[in-house]
Amino acid sequence: MICLICSSSFSEKASWRKLLLIKEPDVICEKCLSKFEKMKDRESENEWKGTIYDGALDSVQSIYIYNEWMKQVFQQYKFQLDVDLAKIFVSDFQLLNKVQELIVPIPLHPEMLLMRTFSQVDQLLIAANVPFTHVLAKTLNRSQVGKSKKDRMSSELFFSVTTDVQNKNILLVDDLYTTGTTLHHAAYALKKSGAQRVIAVTLIRA
Protein backbone atom coordinates (compact mmCIF):
# COMPACT_ATOMS: atom_id res chain seq x y z
CA MET A 1 0.00 0.00 0.00
CA ILE A 2 1.08 3.60 -0.64
CA CYS A 3 0.41 6.14 2.11
CA LEU A 4 -1.85 8.96 0.92
CA ILE A 5 0.10 11.50 2.97
CA CYS A 6 3.81 10.68 2.81
CA SER A 7 3.68 8.37 -0.27
CA SER A 8 5.78 5.74 1.47
CA SER A 9 5.08 2.05 0.93
CA PHE A 10 3.61 0.14 3.89
CA SER A 11 2.12 -3.25 4.65
CA GLU A 12 -1.44 -3.31 5.88
CA LYS A 13 -1.93 -5.00 9.23
CA ALA A 14 -4.18 -8.04 9.07
CA SER A 15 -7.22 -8.25 11.34
CA TRP A 16 -10.44 -10.23 11.58
CA ARG A 17 -12.43 -7.03 11.03
CA LYS A 18 -10.71 -6.51 7.70
CA LEU A 19 -11.03 -10.15 6.70
CA LEU A 20 -14.77 -9.94 7.39
CA LEU A 21 -14.93 -6.66 5.43
CA ILE A 22 -16.09 -4.79 8.55
CA LYS A 23 -13.16 -2.35 8.51
CA GLU A 24 -12.02 -0.30 5.53
CA PRO A 25 -8.46 -0.89 4.23
CA ASP A 26 -5.73 1.33 5.68
CA VAL A 27 -4.84 4.26 3.45
CA ILE A 28 -2.02 5.82 5.49
CA CYS A 29 1.02 4.38 7.26
CA GLU A 30 1.30 3.92 11.03
CA LYS A 31 3.78 6.78 11.33
CA CYS A 32 1.39 9.30 9.75
CA LEU A 33 -1.60 7.90 11.63
CA SER A 34 0.16 8.28 14.99
CA LYS A 35 0.51 12.06 14.51
CA PHE A 36 -3.23 12.69 14.68
CA GLU A 37 -4.56 13.60 18.14
CA LYS A 38 -8.07 12.64 19.17
CA MET A 39 -10.10 15.36 20.84
CA LYS A 40 -10.88 14.73 24.48
CA ASP A 41 -14.12 15.85 26.10
CA ARG A 42 -14.20 19.61 26.32
CA GLU A 43 -16.74 21.84 27.97
CA SER A 44 -18.61 24.20 25.68
CA GLU A 45 -17.78 27.86 26.10
CA ASN A 46 -20.51 30.28 27.19
CA GLU A 47 -19.31 33.01 24.83
CA TRP A 48 -22.63 32.89 22.95
CA LYS A 49 -24.66 33.43 26.10
CA GLY A 50 -26.69 36.63 25.91
CA THR A 51 -26.56 36.78 22.10
CA ILE A 52 -29.43 35.88 19.76
CA TYR A 53 -27.62 32.57 19.12
CA ASP A 54 -27.75 31.49 22.77
CA GLY A 55 -29.30 28.00 22.90
CA ALA A 56 -29.40 27.54 19.12
CA LEU A 57 -26.78 24.80 19.13
CA ASP A 58 -27.63 22.11 21.68
CA SER A 59 -24.21 20.41 21.68
CA VAL A 60 -21.06 20.05 19.59
CA GLN A 61 -18.38 17.36 19.48
CA SER A 62 -15.11 17.34 17.56
CA ILE A 63 -13.03 14.32 16.56
CA TYR A 64 -9.46 15.65 16.32
CA ILE A 65 -7.30 18.45 17.72
CA TYR A 66 -5.99 21.01 15.24
CA ASN A 67 -2.31 20.27 15.91
CA GLU A 68 0.49 21.11 13.47
CA TRP A 69 0.19 17.75 11.74
CA MET A 70 -3.56 18.07 11.24
CA LYS A 71 -3.06 21.62 10.01
CA GLN A 72 -0.71 20.35 7.32
CA VAL A 73 -3.03 17.52 6.26
CA PHE A 74 -6.08 19.80 6.35
CA GLN A 75 -4.36 22.38 4.13
CA GLN A 76 -3.50 19.65 1.65
CA TYR A 77 -7.09 18.40 1.65
CA LYS A 78 -8.99 21.68 1.61
CA PHE A 79 -6.76 24.09 -0.28
CA GLN A 80 -4.62 21.84 -2.46
CA LEU A 81 -7.79 19.92 -3.41
CA ASP A 82 -6.46 16.47 -2.49
CA VAL A 83 -9.90 14.84 -2.32
CA ASP A 84 -8.49 11.35 -1.61
CA LEU A 85 -7.49 12.46 1.89
CA ALA A 86 -11.14 12.19 2.93
CA LYS A 87 -10.56 8.41 2.98
CA ILE A 88 -8.33 8.82 6.05
CA PHE A 89 -11.34 9.65 8.21
CA VAL A 90 -13.80 7.03 6.93
CA SER A 91 -13.92 5.06 10.19
CA ASP A 92 -14.57 8.26 12.19
CA PHE A 93 -17.54 9.32 10.10
CA GLN A 94 -19.01 5.85 9.58
CA LEU A 95 -20.21 6.09 13.19
CA LEU A 96 -22.76 8.64 12.00
CA ASN A 97 -24.67 5.82 10.29
CA LYS A 98 -25.98 4.93 13.75
CA VAL A 99 -27.51 8.31 14.60
CA GLN A 100 -31.23 9.05 14.35
CA GLU A 101 -30.90 12.73 13.48
CA LEU A 102 -31.11 14.14 9.96
CA ILE A 103 -27.49 14.61 8.88
CA VAL A 104 -26.90 18.04 7.35
CA PRO A 105 -23.48 19.16 6.07
CA ILE A 106 -22.48 22.81 6.29
CA PRO A 107 -22.56 23.99 2.66
CA LEU A 108 -20.12 26.14 0.74
CA HIS A 109 -21.25 29.31 -0.96
CA PRO A 110 -21.82 28.55 -4.69
CA GLU A 111 -18.93 30.83 -5.67
CA MET A 112 -16.59 29.06 -3.25
CA LEU A 113 -17.76 25.65 -4.45
CA LEU A 114 -16.96 26.65 -8.02
CA MET A 115 -13.48 27.75 -6.99
CA ARG A 116 -12.70 24.71 -4.81
CA THR A 117 -14.42 22.19 -7.16
CA PHE A 118 -15.71 20.05 -4.27
CA SER A 119 -17.29 20.43 -0.85
CA GLN A 120 -14.82 19.20 1.75
CA VAL A 121 -17.62 18.39 4.23
CA ASP A 122 -19.74 16.50 1.68
CA GLN A 123 -16.70 14.50 0.62
CA LEU A 124 -15.97 13.32 4.17
CA LEU A 125 -19.50 11.91 4.35
CA ILE A 126 -19.43 10.46 0.83
CA ALA A 127 -16.15 8.66 1.52
CA ALA A 128 -17.70 7.11 4.64
CA ASN A 129 -20.94 6.16 2.84
CA VAL A 130 -23.02 8.31 5.19
CA PRO A 131 -26.34 9.56 3.76
CA PHE A 132 -26.95 13.28 4.16
CA THR A 133 -29.44 15.96 3.15
CA HIS A 134 -28.78 19.55 2.13
CA VAL A 135 -31.26 21.83 3.84
CA LEU A 136 -29.07 24.93 4.13
CA ALA A 137 -27.82 27.43 1.55
CA LYS A 138 -24.83 29.67 2.23
CA THR A 139 -25.96 33.22 1.54
CA LEU A 140 -22.77 35.12 2.39
CA ASN A 141 -19.31 34.50 0.96
CA ARG A 142 -17.28 36.60 3.34
CA SER A 143 -14.20 35.26 5.07
CA GLN A 144 -14.21 35.37 8.88
CA VAL A 145 -10.41 35.15 9.06
CA GLY A 146 -8.94 38.04 11.02
CA LYS A 147 -12.25 39.09 12.56
CA SER A 148 -12.60 39.34 16.32
CA LYS A 149 -15.01 37.07 18.18
CA LYS A 150 -17.30 40.05 18.74
CA ASP A 151 -17.35 40.84 15.01
CA ARG A 152 -18.05 37.20 14.14
CA MET A 153 -20.90 36.98 16.61
CA SER A 154 -22.56 40.16 15.39
CA SER A 155 -22.13 39.46 11.66
CA GLU A 156 -25.06 39.00 9.32
CA LEU A 157 -26.64 35.54 9.25
CA PHE A 158 -24.76 33.22 6.87
CA PHE A 159 -27.50 30.75 5.96
CA SER A 160 -31.02 30.29 4.67
CA VAL A 161 -33.09 27.12 5.11
CA THR A 162 -34.23 25.57 1.81
CA THR A 163 -36.23 22.55 3.03
CA ASP A 164 -38.93 21.95 5.62
CA VAL A 165 -37.24 21.12 8.94
CA GLN A 166 -40.28 21.51 11.20
CA ASN A 167 -39.89 19.40 14.39
CA LYS A 168 -36.79 17.63 13.03
CA ASN A 169 -33.71 16.69 15.04
CA ILE A 170 -30.64 17.68 13.06
CA LEU A 171 -26.95 16.76 13.19
CA LEU A 172 -24.78 19.40 11.54
CA VAL A 173 -21.42 18.30 10.14
CA ASP A 174 -18.52 20.68 9.53
CA ASP A 175 -14.78 20.36 9.03
CA LEU A 176 -13.30 22.91 11.45
CA TYR A 177 -14.59 24.50 14.67
CA THR A 178 -12.76 27.66 15.69
CA THR A 179 -15.08 30.17 17.37
CA GLY A 180 -18.26 28.28 16.49
CA THR A 181 -19.70 31.13 14.43
CA THR A 182 -20.63 29.00 11.41
CA LEU A 183 -22.37 26.31 13.45
CA HIS A 184 -24.24 28.77 15.65
CA HIS A 185 -25.46 30.71 12.62
CA ALA A 186 -26.61 27.48 10.96
CA ALA A 187 -28.30 26.19 14.12
CA TYR A 188 -30.04 29.53 14.66
CA ALA A 189 -31.44 29.48 11.10
CA LEU A 190 -32.66 25.90 11.57
CA LYS A 191 -34.30 26.59 14.93
CA LYS A 192 -36.01 29.68 13.50
CA SER A 193 -37.40 27.42 10.77
CA GLY A 194 -38.86 24.98 13.28
CA ALA A 195 -36.11 22.44 13.96
CA GLN A 196 -36.56 20.86 17.38
CA ARG A 197 -32.95 20.02 18.26
CA VAL A 198 -29.64 20.82 16.57
CA ILE A 199 -26.36 19.15 17.50
CA ALA A 200 -23.08 19.18 15.62
CA VAL A 201 -19.92 17.19 14.94
CA THR A 202 -16.74 18.54 13.37
CA LEU A 203 -13.61 16.83 12.10
CA ILE A 204 -11.32 19.25 13.93
CA ARG A 205 -11.41 21.75 16.76
CA ALA A 206 -8.88 24.53 17.06
- Residue 47 has a pLDDT of 79
Closest of 7, 19, 12, 160 to residue 84, by C-alpha: 7
The predicted pLDDT at position 182 comes to 93
Phi-psi region at 117: left, alpha or beta (left = phi > 0; alpha = psi -120 to 50): left
Rounded mean pLDDT of 70-96? 96
Mean pLDDT of the chain, nearest integer: 89
Give pLDDT tens digits for 114-165.
999 999 999 999 999 999 999 999 998 765 555 555 555 556 788 999 999 9
What's the pLDDT at 81?
93
The predicted structure's pLDDT at residue 149: 58
pTM of the model: 0.89
Displacement of CA 131 from its chain's centroid (Å):
14
DSSP run (H or E) holding 64: strand 59-65
Domains of the chain: 1-34 (no CATH), 36-205 (3.40.50)
Confidence of residue 104 (pLDDT cuts 50, 70, 90): very high
Residue 111 one-letter amino acid: E
Give yes or no for a contact between 135 and 104, defined as CB atoms under 8 angstroms apart: yes
User: Sheet holding 59-65: strands in order across?
Assistant: 59-65, 197-205, 169-177, 102-105
Distance CA 62, CA 206 (A): 10
Number of CB atoms found within 10 A of residue 97's CB: 11
Select from 85, 182, 100, 201 the least CA-distant residue to 141.
182
pLDDT at residue 16, as a whole number = 52
Give backbone dihedrals phi and psi of 177, rounded to 5 degrees, phi first: -105, 120
Other beta carbons within 10 angstroms of residue 121's beta carbon come to 23
Q: Name the residue among 131, 192, 204, 129 with its Cα closest to residue 166.
A: 192
Q: pLDDT of 36-74, one tens digit each? A: 999 987 655 567 888 899 999 999 999 999 999 999 999
Q: Is the pLDDT of residue 93 over 60?
A: yes
